[in-house]
Amino acid sequence: MIDIRELSFTYPSGVMALNKVSLSVGQGESLGLVGPNGAGKSTLVAHLNGVISPSSGNLRIDGVLVENKNLEEIRRKVGVVFQDPDDMLFMPRIIDDVLFGPLNLGVPKEKAAMEAERVLREAGLWEMHDRAPFTLSQGQKRFAAIAAVLVMSPQVLVLDEPTSDLDPKNRRKLINLLNGFSMTRIVVSHDLDFIWDTCGRTVLLADGKVVADGKTKELLRRRELLEANGLELPLRLQD
């Protein structure tokens, strides 16, 4: 589903954020992307739907090259849930935010409304669909932002630090939600216990490079590797 080859990116300031990253992610796979601050995780994610163009190398989503002429198709395939849900909720009501994408792509109103209700019910938010986003808790906003992406039926779902504003109950709810999905998922997070619960495979980035790639429950047991790259063992594995 995702094929990244020798991807490099240097910011105008001269900082190299990605250095020849190669990575493949299969259809339906759930991949955790971890690493210290400044490792290049957010920069890599921004390439997946063409927000950033590579300095060199390339990537394909479902066989389609990510480049300017293909961005409309790519952005239908890849749904990104930003770290701050307030960046995604800008309409008067939650239902309007969820309907925004489908209606702007020309989906018939009746079909769009049915899909919007489905994803809001899935996210546990249907009862408040008529409310303004600012009246929701941060956790509720998180699920509303996820619903606004799910309604587009993406083939790839990317979540950037999805647990940063969740209490334990909503964190468990999100784990159950993600584990029920069949699309390809990429979860970027410092919450290694969340990665443990939702991702079968994990990639560790540091200094813009892939340092390790393997089964989550093997890689996240490697104390020396994690500590050498600014991370700690998941809480469940600590003494």
Q: What pLDDT digit, counting tens, does each position of 30-74 carry?
A: 999 999 999 999 999 999 999 999 999 999 999 999 999 999 999
Distance (Å, whole) CA 143 – CA 146: 5
Helices marked H in the chain — which ranges?
41-48, 71-77, 94-104, 109-122, 138-150, 168-179, 192-198, 216-219, 223-228
Q: Which domains does the chain show, CATH number per domain?
A: 2-231 (3.40.50.300)
pLDDT in the model for residue 164: 86
Mean of the per-residue pLDDT values of the chain: 95
Please indicate whether residue 216 or residue 72 has the higher confidence score (pLDDT): 216
pLDDT in the model for residue 65: 96
pLDDT at 227 over 80: yes
Distance (Å, whole) CA 21 – CA 125: 38
DSSP three-state, residue 209 = strand
- Read off the pLDDT of each residue in 155-179 and give the average, rounded to a whole number: 94
Check if the beta carbon of residue 36 is closer than 8 Å to that of residue 87: no
Percent of the chain predicted with pLDDT > 90: 95
Check if the beta carbon of residue 79 is closer than 8 Å to that of residue 97: no
pLDDT-derived band of residue 9, with 50, 70 and 90 as boundaries? very high
pLDDT at 239 over 80: no
pLDDT at 105 over 90: no
pLDDT-derived band of residue 229, with 50, 70 and 90 as boundaries? very high
Check if the beta carbon of residue 28 is closer than 8 Å to that of residue 182: yes
Check if the beta carbon of residue 158 is closer than 8 Å to that of residue 3: no
- Read off the pLDDT of each residue in 103-109 and give the average, rounded to a whole number: 90
Full-model pTM: 0.93
pLDDT in the model for residue 150: 95
pLDDT in the model for residue 165: 83
pLDDT in the model for residue 132: 95
Which residues, at least 6 apart from 210, have a Cβ–Cβ distance to it below 8 Å? 21, 22, 23, 203, 204
